Amino acid sequence: MSEEDPTVPIVCTECGTETRVPLPDVADALSRHNEGKHGGETVAEVDPGLKDRLADLVAEDLGLFDEDAGEQGGRD
């Protein structure tokens, strides 16, 4: 793994904690925290401010924004 692995802030409002974890570990860290501390409730989550950005990044990564993928409307 490269040391440039992006980290994502996970915030838990109930614990008042913020933890940065590597992107690939986010889902694991979330479920572990919520399972361990909150009986499986979804309390901790990815920093809401980052969620949108993250979605964008992931979407870009998947090529969902590829203009040739079915953009509608005239663009000439």
Beta bridge partners of 45: 11
Q: How far is Cα 70 from Cα 36, in angstroms, rounded to an integer?
A: 44
Does position 41 bind Zn ion by CB under 5 A?
no
Choosing from 19, 23, 29, 37, the residue that interacts with Zn ion (CB under 5 A) is 37
Residue appearing with tokens 């969902």: 64
Residue 34 and residue 21 in contact, taking contact as beta carbons nearer than 8 Å: no
Residue 54 C-beta: closest distance to Zn ion, Å: 20
Q: Which stretch binds Zn ion (CB under 5 A): 19-27, 32-40, 50-58, 61-69?
A: 32-40
Chain positions contacting Zn ion, by CB under 5 A? 12, 14-15, 37, 44
